[in-house]
Amino acid sequence: MRDMAGDMIEAQHRHPEFPDYVAVGAQLATPVIKNGVAIFVDSQSYAADFGFQWLMFKKTQLDSHSGLDISERRLFQALKLAPDALRGKLVLEVGCGAGRFTEILLKYGARVDSLDLSEAVFANADNYPPSSHHRITQADFFSSPIPFEAYDIVLCLGVVQHTPDSGRCIELLVRHANPGGLVVFDHYRKSYRSGSFLRPSAWVARKLILAMPEEKRFATVERLYKWLYPVHRMAGRSMILSKMLRRISPILTHHQRLPLLSDDMFFVWGLLDTHDSLTDVYKSLKTKEEIEDIVRSTKVTSYDVWYGGNGIICRCQK
Ligand SMILES: C[S@@+](CC[C@H](N)C(=O)[O-])C[C@H]1O[C@@H](n2cnc3c(N)ncnc32)[C@H](O)[C@@H]1O
């Protein structure tokens, strides 16, 4: 665990609206600044495929791009706050990706400290350039320059299960919140329906793709996806056929889950999510009880854990 006091990073990297960075562990002592992003790592580590993905699909899931409110609904379903409650709040968004939630947080007047290990930070910066209300940092959350006990809200959606240690990640999320602050995250669900034995083709495809050199992975996923997509599109109108395909096919499509998407969007969202699900180095599943146990062991004063979003959503008050 890092030294709470930490050394301050040089004054020139201070941002008047955000807490000062602290020097920690293996990170670069002084950030490199590129496109307004403060970079504290010299590699994307295990998150390189995410970096590639978010640069390739920079706008796909932004509500402002889709014209729908899929991200906004998912965010407020987890936050359980009225949009107005975000005004003036200091939010740490961990694993910000291209910014589907950054967009909504900024739209409702929050100050957003966006952090990601991968080059997704540059997609985020293109979509929502750093400003008085938005700081972007490329760092590993497990040894990040972001101070503890400094945020009104700590948000982490679609991320925890993709880190090497969900428990430690959750503990760190809580540590970054102010006393009285809110911590909200989600996690893939472990259940009798979610085991790899029920989607063996995806399990095998993921193993084979992860064994390939990084530069070949996207092309391989795309070929597989284009080959199987016509079958999914035909089956898409039938609930039963779609359910069956979800069990036997290695690719993901959303004809049943997100029926408002246009035909073009079905194709691209499915390709994005298929790439996401076949190239994630870490994919942890947990039960609701396991998440509750982890949260109870941290310094939260109350918590609520329920099924929703990506599987399980957890909202804690510190
Ligand atoms: C599936 S994406 C989700 C992105 C975004 N939250 C969204 O829902 O669109 C997971 C993100 O977590 C980031 N990530 C994974 N491990 C991380 C770590 N240790 N520190 C910071 N970011 C990390 C990845 O780079 C990736 O952008």
Task: Say if CB 185 and CB 306 are below 8 A apart.
Answer: no
Burial of 241 (0-12, 13-18, 19+ CB in 10 A): middle
80 lies in the same domain as 179: yes
CA of 48 to the centre of ligand 1 (A): 10
Q: Which residue from 39, 50, 146 has its CB within 8 A of the most atoms of ligand 1, so it is best to mutate?
A: 50
- Nearest atom in ligand 1 to the alpha carbon of residue 156 is 6
110 lies in the same domain as 63: yes
- Name the percent of the chain lying above pLDDT 90: 77
* Number of compact structural domains in the chain: 2
User: Range with the lowest mean pLDDT among 64-73, 180-189, 194-203?
Assistant: 194-203
182 lies in the same domain as 204: no
pLDDT at 180: 96
Task: State pLDDT tens for residues 229-246.
Answer: 999 888 877 888 888 888
Task: State pLDDT tens for residues 242-295.
Answer: 888 888 899 998 876 676 777 888 899 999 999 999 999 999 999 999 999 999
Give the residue, by CA position, lying nearest to ligand 1 atom 12: 95
In angstroms, the CA 263 to CA 267 distance is 7
CA-wise closest residue to 305 among 186, 225, 203: 186
Domain that holds residue 242: 196-279
165 lies in the same domain as 212: no
Q: Which amino acid is at 46?
A: Y
CA of 158 to the centre of ligand 1 (A): 7
- DSSP assigned state of 83: G
Q: Is the CB of 142 under 6 A from ligand 1?
A: yes
Q: Is the CB of 120 under 6 A from ligand 1?
A: yes
32 lies in the same domain as 89: yes
Give the mean pLDDT of the chain. Answer: 91
* Model confidence, pTM: 0.94
In angstroms, the CA 123 to CA 21 distance is 22
